[in-house]
Structure 1
Amino acid sequence: MILVTTYQDPDLDGVACSVAEAELLIGQGEEAIAGIFGTLHREAESCIQTFGLEWPMDAEEVIDQVDEIVLTDASDLRGISPLIDPEKVTTIIDHRKDYNPDDFPNADLQVELVGSASTLVTEHFIEEGLIPSKTSAYLLAGAIVSNTINFQNNVTTDRDRKAYEWLQGRVEIPQDFVQTLFESKSSFVHEFVSDEIMQDATWFDFPLQKIGIAQLEILRAEEFLTEFGYQIEDILEEIHKEDAIDHGFLSIVDIDHGRNILLCYDTQMKAWLSQALKVEWIGNRAQTSGIMMRKEIVPLLREIIL
C-alpha cells in the first residue's frame, strides 16, 4: 500500500496534495491512502468544514502497513514525522528551491518552482485525463489561492492560474471563497496567539547557524500588531529556545497592503535581512515593498550567510 502524506501539522497545501494525489493513484489502479501526521492548520480545517468534506485519515494508524510513501509539499527531513522511513519514500512532489534530495535516496523528485504544490497535483489530473472529486477539487483550489496569496505574490506562475481556472470548471467555487479562506487564518485570541505563531514557524540550517523564520499570512496585519505586538518578542524567544535556534524573526504577509512586515529583536539577524532584502529598520520593524514568501527569503539569506 502507498501512503500519500506531507509534513507534520500541515497547512492546506500539504493536505490538499495528499488527499488529491492519493485519489489520483487510486484512479490509476494503485492501492493508496491519504494520511496526515499531527494537527491540521486551521486554514485546512476551515476549508474542510466550509464544504463539508471528509477529514483525512490519521497516518499513524496505517504507517506500519505501507510499502511506499509519496511525500507532498515537503522535500527534506525537517518537519516530517519521525515515523516516516526515508528509505520508503519513492516520490516527492514539492515547489521550493531550498531542499535536500539526499534525504530520500530512493525517491523520484518532482520539485518545480510554482506557487503551490497543489498546482503540480492538479496538472497530474489534467495529464492523466482524470476528474478530481469535489473534495480534491475544493482542497486544491483553496491551496493554490492560499499559497499564491490570491495570485499576488512573486512565486505565482501562469501554471498556478491555469490550474485554478481548470479546477473552477470542475466545481462551483463561491464568490466569498477567497475572503473566507484568508479570514480563517487572520483571527487570533490572546490565549492561542503563541500556538498559532509556533505552528507557522520553522528553521533552516545555515553554515554554523540555525535560522528560524515564523510566518503569518493575514488580513488586518496592523490591527494584529496593535493587539498582540507586545507578545511577539517573548514568543520568538520561546521558539528559539525550544528548537535551539541561533537567530530568527517573524515575517507577516500583510495581505491587505501587499507587503511583508518583519519583526526582529536580534541585531545580527537584522543586519543580514537588511543586506539580503534591502530593507530598513525602524526599531525592531521593517517592511518590504512587495510580498515575499519564506521560500523566497531563505535563498537570499543563503547568499549572505556564508
Structure 2
Amino acid sequence: MPRIVVTAGRDYLDIDAYGGIVAYGELLQCLGQASVAISTAPTNGSVTQPLKQMAVSLETRYTAEDNDSFVVIDLSDPDFFDSFVTADNVISVIDHHAGFEQYWIDKIGSEARIEFVGAACTLVYEAWQQAKVAEKMSKQSATLLAAGIIDNTLNFKAQLTTDRDRDAYIWLAKHAELSPTWAHEYLEDCQAELLSDLRTNLINDTKHITYPGDGEKTMIGQIAVLDAKTFLDEYSTEITNVLSDGTSKWYLNLLNLTSGQSYFYTNDTATKLWLQKLLGVTFSEDLAVAKTLWLRKEIYKKALDEENSSK
C-alpha cells in the first residue's frame, strides 16, 4: 500500500501544524492507511515542553519511499511546503489561510479543504468526526488539537474564531480530560517558552509575506503575551534587531491576550503608513494599538479583500 506523508511548512512548526499533522496521521492509521507524520522544521514557542514530552508519532527526517503522496496541513502556499514535498504529489490540503483556494480546487478538487475557521486543528478534529472514529482518538492527539485551537484563536478572543472552533475544543477537552484551567496554564507555558530564548522563538515565528498589491516582501513577527506594554518596554531593542535584519519592511504583531488587542511595533515608515491605511490604526512613534486582536492571516485576508474590491 502506498504511503501517505502528513506534513506542513518548512520554516517552522507551530502547535496548529504540529498537532494537526500528528492527529491526522493517527486518523489515517486508524482507517487502515499506511501513513507517517513528518516535519523537518523547528518548532516554535507554541509547542511547549509539556506538549513535546507527550508520546506521539512524529518523525523529523524524510526518507523517500516509492509512490509517496502528501497531505499538507495548516499551509496552502506551495512555496513554503516542507522541502521534500512536491505539489504534484499532494493529494489533500487542510488549511485555514486565504490566497490559494482556487489553485488547489483546480488541482485536487474536493480534497482542497481550505476553510476560514480559527484553527487548522478544528478541521482535523472534524475529519475524525466525519470518519466516525473520533472516540478512538488518543488523548495525546486530542490534547494537541485542543492546544492548536487555543493558540490560534487566542483563547477564543481572535476575530476569526467560529462556533466550530468552540465546539471542537469542548469535545477535545472532554475527551482528553483537560482541567478547566488547562487553557490558561497552556498560555502561561507559551510565554515562559517564548522568554526562555526570545531571539530564536521570534525568528521561528516570523514569516516573509508579499501582500496583495505589494511586490516587496514584508518580515512579520507574531507573538502572544499576557502584558504587551511591559513586554515592549523590556524587549523592544531585541525585537528591532531581529526583525529589521536584512529587510527594511517589517513589523511585530504583538498579541495582548489580557486586553484582547494587537500592538503593532515597527520603525519602518512605509509599513506604518500601510498598516494605518489598511487597519485604521494610529502610530505614536513606533507603536500602534488596535482596538481588537488581528492575526497575520486576518491581515492578509483583509489586504486580499481590499485588493480584489479595487479591481
Note whether the superposition's TM-score is higher than 0.5. Answer: yes
The alpha-carbon deviation at position 218 of structure 1 amounts to 1.6
Deviation at 1:34, TM superposition (A): 1.0
Separation in 2 of the partners of 1:193 and 1:145?
21
Q: Which amino acid aligns with 1:82?
A: S
1:287 CA drift (Å): 0.7
Aligned ranges for residues 102-121 of structure 1 at < 5 Å?
A: 102=103, 106-107=107-108, 108-121=111-124
In structure 2, how many angstroms separate the alpha carbons of the residues matched to 1:91 and 1:233?
38
Residues 23 and 189 of structure 1, relative CA distance in 2, 3 Å threshold: closer
Q: What corresponds to 1:170 in structure 2?
A: 175
What residue in structure 1 maps to residue 37 of structure 2?
34
Instruction: Could you tell me which runs of 5 or more consecutive residues in structure 2 were left unpaired when the two chains were aligned.
Output: none
Match of 1:202 in 2: 207
| 8 A Cα contact 1:273 1:301, kept in partner | no
Please give the alpha-carbon distance, in whole angstroms, between the structure 2 residues aligned to 1:237 and 1:12: 26
- Contact 1:209–1:246, Cα closer than 8 Å, also in 2: no
Match of 1:228 in 2: 235
Please tell me whether the aligned partners of residues 253 and 263 of structure 2 are also in contact (alpha carbons under 8 angstroms). Answer: yes
Residue 267 of structure 2: aligned partner: 265
Q: Secondary structure at the match of 1:170?
A: helix
Distance across 1 between alignment mates of 2:80 and 2:153: 21
* Distance in 2 separating the partners of 1:45 and 1:219: 16
Equivalent residue for 2:184?
179
Aligned to 2:256: 254
Tell whether the 8 Å contact from 2:224 to 2:255 is kept in structure 1 after alignment.
Answer: yes
- 2:83 aligned residue: 82
| Preserved CA contact (<8 Å) 2:15 2:148 | yes
Which residue identity is paired with 1:291?
L
The answer on whether the counterparts of 1:272 and 1:301 sit within 8 Å (CA) in structure 2 is no
Q: What is aligned with 1:2?
A: 4
Q: How far is 1:2 from its partner?
A: 0.5
What's the CA shift for 1:49? 4.2
The aligned length equals 299
Preserved CA contact (<8 Å) 1:71 1:89: yes
Structure 1 residue 296 displacement after superposition: 0.8
CA distance in 2 between partners of 1:258 and 1:247 (Å): 25
Report the CA distance between 1:185 and its aligned residue: 2.4
Q: Secondary structure at the match of 2:175?
A: coil
1:215 aligns with 2:222: yes
Distance 1:63 1:262, change over 3 A: farther
1:80-114 Cα shifts (integer Å, max 9, x gaps): 22221111111000011233653797433100000
Q: CA deviation at 1:16?
A: 0.9
SS at match of 1:269: helix
Shift of 1:63: 3.9
Amino acid at match of 1:69: F
- 2:68 maps to what in 1? 67
How big is each residue's C-alpha offset from its partner over 1:199-244, in whole Å with a ceiling of 9 and x where there is no partner? 1110222432212211111222222112111222222111xx1xxx
Distance 1:264 1:294, change over 3 A: same
Contact 1:73 1:93 in 2 (8 A): yes
Does the CA-based 8 Å contact 2:22-2:58 persist in structure 1? Answer: yes
Which residue of the partner structure matches residue 294 of structure 1?
A: 296
Question: Where does residue 153 of structure 1 map in the other structure?
Answer: 158
Percent same amino acid among aligned pairs?
26
Which 10-residue stretch deviates more, 291-300 or 166-175?
166-175
Deviation at 1:39, TM superposition (A): 1.6
Tell me if the contact between 1:5 and 1:69 (Cα under 8 Å) persists in the aligned partners: yes
Query: Partner residue of 2:28?
Result: 25
Structure 1 stretches lacking a partner, 5+ long: none
Aligned residue in 2 for 1:98: 99
Contact 1:89–1:104, Cα closer than 8 Å, also in 2: no
- Contact residue 203 and residue 221 of structure 2 kept, 8 A: yes
Deviation at 1:188, TM superposition (A): 6.6
Per the normalisation by structure 1, the TM-score is: 0.90
Q: Contact between 2:22 and 2:56, CA under 8 Å: does it hold in 1?
A: no
Residues 176 and 48 (structure 1), Cα distance of their counterparts in 2 relative to 1, 3 Å cut: same
Q: Structure 2 length as normaliser, TM-score?
A: 0.88
How far apart, CA to CA, are the structure 2 residues paired with 1:286 and 1:217?
16
Instruction: Specify which of 260, 277, 285 is matched with residue 283 of structure 1.
Output: 285
After TM superposition, give the deviation of residue 190 of structure 1 in Å. Answer: 7.7
